Amino acid sequence: MKILVTGGAGFIGSHLVDRLIAEGNSVVVVDNLSTGKKESLNSKAVFYNTDICDDEISNIFQKEKPELVFHLAAQISVRKSVSDPIKDAKINILGSLNILENSRKYNIKKTIFASTGGVMYGNASIIPTPETYTAQPLCPYGICKLSVEHYLNYYKNIFNLKYIALRFGNVYGPRQDKNGEAGVVAIFCGKMLNNQDCVINGDGLQTRDYIYIKDVIKGLTIAAESDQTGIYNIGTGIETDVNNIYSTLKTILKVDGKAIHGTAKSGDHRRGSIDASRAQNELKWRFQYDINKGLIETANWFKENNNE
């Protein structure tokens, strides 16, 4: 199958491209390398250094004629969405609309969208939180992701463009940016391996649903093969606090150093984990990596690739 992956040079995208190519697909990648890395990109992929907001996207669709689209490209930083919500909306809403309009125009069979479960539900009263819980994101990043989900539903109802939106928990694993666009696991690994102290925002007891990259890629590929349409949480349903992440990584990497507790960040929710029962029942997806197994693989990768 000919498949287009936006954001295919990024953390999640590059792993997905590797999997798709290994399965025998022809893959086209669109990425402006704002956070993605050319060296992470599979050499067998056709690559366009293009922004999803550009008019050039239409020419790429016309030339490459993809059958399926994985839309992963985004402004990924919650912090940046708070400081510049207009830029965040231009990329995450208007850029997504550019992809959807061309998907409609060129008769794409299905769109798989990388949404968020990590910030979608705000300070939810039900934890783990199911998709049926009212979405109430506390940051512009989450608001934009929710908006795109509504647009996906519109394109499905009006133009019969099939879709699945996957609301990921906090994804971590090899290749994540240790310099801090997102991902406390990668940031801590980078700091520890360079003998630097780690900064924990607030008391460190805030919890998230940490989901390993291999489980996320499995969710994406299953979604592409499924006849289902709709929104699915992809997470473990387990809360893990930041202090636990820190202490576990410190043990795995056998490093000294200490954690410095800084001020809590505004807009952060206190607790979070997502209920993936719908994905388990309808997509037959289940996570395989618990937090300890995933952190060991991740820490070892960062140890081996610390100079990159």
Residues with a catalytic annotation lie at 141
Between helix 95-105 and helix 140-159 the angle, nearest 10°, is 10
- Whether the CB-CB separation of 252 and 296 falls below 8 Å is answered with yes
- Whether the CB-CB separation of 92 and 114 falls below 8 Å is answered with no
Number of Cβ atoms within 10 Å of the Cβ of 268:
16
Helix (H, G, I), strand (E, B) or coil at 236: coil
Distance CA 41, CA 47 (A): 9
Distance CA 257, CA 85 (A): 36
Between helix 291-304 and helix 184-193 the angle, nearest 10°, is 50
Burial degree of 298 (CB within 10 A; 0-12, 13-18, 19+): buried
Instruction: Tell me the CA distances in angstroms from 163 to 113, 153, 175, one per residue in order.
Output: 7, 8, 27
**Tokens at residue 231, please?**
């929104």
Number of Cβ atoms within 10 Å of the Cβ of 65:
13
- Whether the CB-CB separation of 205 and 247 falls below 8 Å is answered with no
DSSP code at position 197:
P
Helix (H, G, I), strand (E, B) or coil at 241: strand
**What are the residues facing 199 on neighbouring strands?**
260
Non-local (6+) Cβ contacts of 130 within 8 A are 233, 274, 275, 277, 278
